[in-house]
Amino acid sequence: MRRSSSISSSVRRMTAKRTKKVSARKLRKKLRVKDLYGEGVSGNLLQGRYGTAKIYAWFQNRHRRGTTLLDRGEFTSADGKHVWNVPVTVEECLRLPLSNGQMNNRLAWYVTWVSPRTGQRLKKYFMSPWVGLEFIATKAGRVDEHASLVSRQRPYDVPRKYRGKFPYRQQYKGRVRTWYWCPLCMQPRRFRAVRPLQDFYAMVKVWSEEKQKFDWRDRKLRLLECRYCGCTNRDGVFRRSNQPWEVRKFKRGVRRARRRRS
């Protein structure tokens, strides 16, 4: 027969060592942003278990709070000693919500500048655009006035009020300089031909005097490249932004537009 225990269960609970439960607030403090990533070969992709609506909403809220750092086109460093004038187009693009690709990649932004010692173009990757602006205001912008922020995961369309204004041709010392919208730099850039020279075919909007409207034509184009970020005119967002824009009017009650025939 089994011998009954002389100590009751209530006494055991009183004398047993109690373990403190970790509160949810402390668990949230221990979990850092970099802990959310770790997938992929480089370990910079968001882990699958964290790809939830709450995590994505947190990223969007953090990015939205960062827009408060922009004061009339100026970004002031955390110590208040340095100020960097943010281009208007960059400010408008940063006020847009993040895409899934920007949230799924840990290093979705980088800052590029030219070293004053070696003359080489350098890069530094960042998790947030606001940290990149802090780096430009305090370090990169002080040695290179043309230091810029570049988006790695998302090519931005030209802002609405600048549609139809690119490519912009400027007279300079008897020559014509052409400025294109760069979807990765988020501002106008001068593109140069890739060496050795390369060509490709793409659809381009061309004005037809006979039809009095724009027509899509298949044309042979020279491959161009941005010297800051390496974006080329093969990118669909680049060709969509650097083309004539037209406004189509519809009658009241029309919900579906007919496709135009060439």
pLDDT tens track for 53-112: 999 999 999 999 999 998 888 999 998 899 999 999 999 999 999 999 999 999 999 999
For residues 137 and 178, state if they share a domain. no
Residue 216 pLDDT > 70, yes or no? yes
Amino acid at 258: R
Residue 10 pLDDT > 80, yes or no? no
Edge-to-edge, what's the strand order for the sheet holding 83-85? 70-71, 74-76, 83-85
Alpha-carbon distance 238 to 16, whole Å?
A: 69
Alpha-carbon distance 237 to 243, whole Å?
A: 10
Residue with the two structure tokens 């960062």: 66
Number of domains in the chain: 2
Asked whether residue 257 is assigned to any structural domain, the reply reads no
For residues 58 and 118, state if they share a domain. yes
The span from the first CA to the last CA of the chain, in angstroms, equals: 98
Q: Mean of the pLDDT values across residues 232-255? A: 88
For residues 130 and 41, state if they share a domain. yes
For residues 206 and 144, state if they share a domain. no
For residues 138 and 193, state if they share a domain. no
Alpha-carbon distance 158 to 190, whole Å?
A: 15
* pTM score: 0.82
C-beta of residue 138 within 8 angstroms of C-beta of residue 131: no
For residues 147 and 231, state if they share a domain. no
For residues 142 and 181, state if they share a domain. no
> Cα–Cα–Cα angle for 96, 99, 102, nearest 5°?
110
Asked whether residue 7 is assigned to any structural domain, the reply reads no
Which of these, 183, 153, 180, 225, lies nearest to 93 by C-alpha position?
A: 183
Q: Mean of the pLDDT values across residues 175-193? A: 95
Instruction: Assign 173 a pLDDT band (cuts: 50, 70, 90).
Output: confident
Asked whether residue 230 is assigned to any structural domain, the reply reads yes
Average pLDDT of the residues of the chain: 88
Asked whether residue 259 is assigned to any structural domain, the reply reads no
Domain's final residue, options 123, 151, 179: 151
For residues 109 and 219, state if they share a domain. no
Quick one: CA torsion of 54, 55, 59, 61, rounded to 10 degrees?
Answer: 20
Longest dimension (CA), the chain: 111
For residues 121 and 184, state if they share a domain. no
Asked whether residue 188 is assigned to any structural domain, the reply reads yes
- Tokens at 39, concatenated: 């997938």
For residues 132 and 165, state if they share a domain. no
DSSP-derived pairing of the beta strands 109-114 and 70-71: unpaired
For residues 205 and 146, state if they share a domain. no
Asked whether residue 11 is assigned to any structural domain, the reply reads no
Q: Which domain holds residue 72?
A: 33-151
Per-residue model confidence (pLDDT) at position 250: 80
Asked whether residue 90 is assigned to any structural domain, the reply reads yes
For residues 140 and 235, state if they share a domain. no
